[in-house]
Amino acid sequence: MMPGRSSVGRPGAPARGGQGGRGGRPGSGGRGGSGGGGPRGGFGGPRGGRGGRGSTQGAFGRGGGAPRGRKSRRAKRQEFEQQSAPTIGGVVVPRGDGSTPVRVRQGATLTDLAEKINANPAALVTVLFHLGEMATATQSLDEDTFALLGAELGYDVQIVSPEDEDRELLESFDIDLEAEEAGEDDAELLPRPPVVTVMGHVDHGKTKLLDAIRSTDVVAGEAGGITQSIGAYQVRVHLGDETRPITFIDTPGHEAFTAMRARGAEVTDIAILVVAADDGVMPQTVEALNHAQAAGVPIVVAVNKIDKEGANPEKIRGQLTEYGLVPEEYGGDTMFVDISAKQRTNIDGLLEAVLLTADAALDLRANPNTDARGVTVEAKLDRGRGAVATVLVQRGTLHVGDPIVAGSAYGRVRAMFDEYGNPLEEAGPARPAQVLGLTNVPSAGDSFIVAPDDRTARQIADRREAAGRAAELAKRRKRVSLENLTDVLKEGKVDTLNLILKGDSSGAVEALEDSLLKIDVGDEVALRVIHRGVGAVTQNDVNLATVDSAVIIGFNVRPAVRVAELADREGVDMKFYTVIYNAIEDVEAALKGMLKPVYEEVELGTAEIRQVFHSSKFGSIAGSIVRSGVIKRGAKARLVRDGVVVNGDLTVETLRREKDDVTEVREGYECGINLSFRDIAEGDVIETWEMREKPRD
């Protein structure tokens, strides 16, 4: 180094050259050689020195570290994984070994699957596109799509069953029902009443039998004498010096209520199979028998109508022997009891047979000193009381004030009533009760549990509702109307007919859905129910139908005036029925392209009841004002209360204007209407209609 070039650089800076070189910028290394130590050519200041030309960069320099051109270990590992990973359509995806199980919930999305297999959701979207399916990463997919994608990627994609999904949901809230039941001591289990289901063919006397047992008149309040909802009742049976309770579940005998009968067999301990002695074994008798046997419950056969001419109880015994029910007198283990529900003959003998079967074949015990859980037998919307659920407690004791969850409904038990309307403070095992306080109407068959607190109950219900909504979204397709279904199919615009079902009770809606889904129309068109509910048709139902081109089918319900106007404006097809067979026939005919509307229902007029007068001669008289159209004497009528049909098979018997009998009353005028029906109230709406022939185009 030349002495003349050894001047000191700026304060804190090393020299530009090696040791003793010209001072560089503050914090930078010298231009030649490696930065030296000391005040004149030392390492840089706070910013670190930059290595000289042709030398290795310093560890403290701005470009410190590995030399340029070298890759880090992470970069090498990522490059190796990308080169070795399989690709589909140029997209890198992780693969399984062909049998790797992956569990996803119903209605899951590609994002959910990507989390399970550690993949990029966008990559799965691309793979699915190459397989001929288009979907977004957040779109709910059905089981078939997941199976297709899993087979391509080498995974066995399994859809979690609703029961397993619900159990995992409850376990996430520290509610393990199976562990609680397994941990019970025998000393905690106390005897409980048997739960009995009455099953059989339509018009074989099931409701008459319950009528005889309860000494009440149930049949008189049923449309057409056919039970169209599930009821649960508890009666106390006096046998000798002992009084024992028995819980009865009345399942409808209509063939369309197969699902409800099956559910009755699932919650019951003993099934009473009612067979008419003058009619014999019918198809629904065999159907009910199969449900009871599939549930593994003992069967007691009640041979009814032995008082009628032509009754042959021995023939019934012989016929049922072919189905595995061998009477005790023939050496079997099934008790047959000959009764007459109408004459109330040998009812005590039937009840004694039920108790003997329960004592001999079943160990009916439950722990009453724990949180209640059970099943929803029926649920409906009630005027002034909101959602009313009939529940059957299977374990524990339900108290007023308990926070409960029933399906996607939750709430605190505001009040409880027995089958006669008497208030209850608590309901123990095998005790049916009507529960008030739920936020919405649960479905028949939904299990209910007592939650630790209101917040947990709401969270469980919200999670269940979200899971159910995702499962429904996975099934959605285009929708059409019944009348134009044939034309739309010919144009190739749709391959699925989707329906929205609304009814007066959850059991009726479920039964209608079950019957419609059983319609066999081949492979040309499919039918799906995307939404179901209890109560009148609402604006939300119409909006949903508008978006998805849906058909709305109402069973014993009517839409509000504004809802009907909205549906007409949006072109939504709405059909309303009071007989379930007609709904099934219309949908089946539409699906098969054979819809032949011979008659159509034409509304004549509506009247609002302003005041009710009671007459010893004429009964209840409805003082009404005609709101629309015309009311005609002799016209068919229905009574609507809060959007729900109270009675759909009425006739305008008499029509008076002031003191004169008239044949019709037009819009805006007041009149007196006699429907020969006592259950009318102020605010009810009378709709009159007639059937007119409509030729098919």
Asked if residue 626 is part of any domain, the answer here is yes
| Predicted pLDDT at 389 | 92
Record the pTM: 0.60
Q: Could you identify the residue written with the tokens 């379930």?
A: 580
The annotation status of 217 as a binding-site residue, yes or no, is no
Q: What is the CATH number of the domain that holds 516?
A: 3.40.50.10050
Residue 320 and residue 200 share a domain? yes
86 labelled binding-site residue: no
The pLDDT assigned to 77 comes to: 61
Q: Is 254 annotated as a binding residue?
A: yes
77: enclosing H helix or E strand: helix 73-84
Domain coverage including residue 38: 1-64
251 is in an annotated binding site: yes
Query: Measured between alpha carbons, how far is 320 from 296 in angstroms, rounded to an integer?
Result: 17
Give the phi and the psi of residue 174 in degrees, each rounded to 5: 60, 35
Q: Are both 324 and 252 inside the same structural domain?
A: yes
**Whether residue 554 is found in the same domain as residue 675:** no
510 and 587 assigned to the same domain: yes
pLDDT at 466: 85
98 and 204 assigned to the same domain? no
Query: Does one domain contain both 309 and 387?
Result: no
The reply to whether 7 and 121 lie within a common domain is no
Asked if 229 and 138 sit in the same domain, the reply is no
Interior angle at CA 32, CA 28 and CA 37, nearest 5: 60
Averaged in consecutive runs of 10 residues, what is the pLDDT profile of the chain (697 residues)?
44 44 46 44 44 45 52 64 52 74 87 89 88 85 86 88 78 78 78 89 83 65 50 78 84 50 67 91 83 83 92 92 91 92 90 90 90 88 87 93 93 91 92 92 86 93 85 56 61 68 86 83 71 85 80 89 83 87 84 64 92 86 94 93 90 91 93 91 93 67
CATH number at residue 399: 2.40.30.10
Q: Is 204 annotated as a binding residue?
A: yes
Q: 110, 137, 159 — which closes off a domain?
A: 159
* Distance separating alpha carbons of residues 472 and 134, to the nearest angstrom: 18
**535 annotated to bind ligand:** no
206 is in an annotated binding site: yes
> Pick from 142, 159, 176: which residue ends a domain?
159
Tell me: is residue 130 an annotated ligand-binding position.
Answer: no
Any known ligand binding at 250?
yes
Q: Is 490 annotated as a binding residue?
A: no
Residue type, 686: I
164 belongs to a structural domain: no
Query: Does any domain span residue 166?
Result: no
Q: Is 375 annotated as a binding residue?
A: no
Same domain, yes or no, for 212 and 303? yes
**Rg, Å, the chain Cα set:** 37
And the tokens for 640?
A: 């609507």
Nearest to 106 by CA among 530, 531, 467: 467
- The reply to whether 304 sits in an annotated binding site is yes
Q: How many angstroms separate the CA atoms of 514 and 262, rounded? A: 11
Asked if 571 and 627 sit in the same domain, the reply is no
Q: Is the domain of 440 the same as that of 494?
A: no
The answer to whether residues 326 and 303 belong to one domain is: yes
d(CA 537, CA 595): 24
How confident is the model at residue 508, as a pLDDT? 83
Q: Would you tell me the crossing angle of helices 143-153 and 110-117 to the nearest 10 degrees?
A: 30
306 is in an annotated binding site: yes
**518 marked as part of a ligand binding site:** no
What is the reported pLDDT for 614? Answer: 87
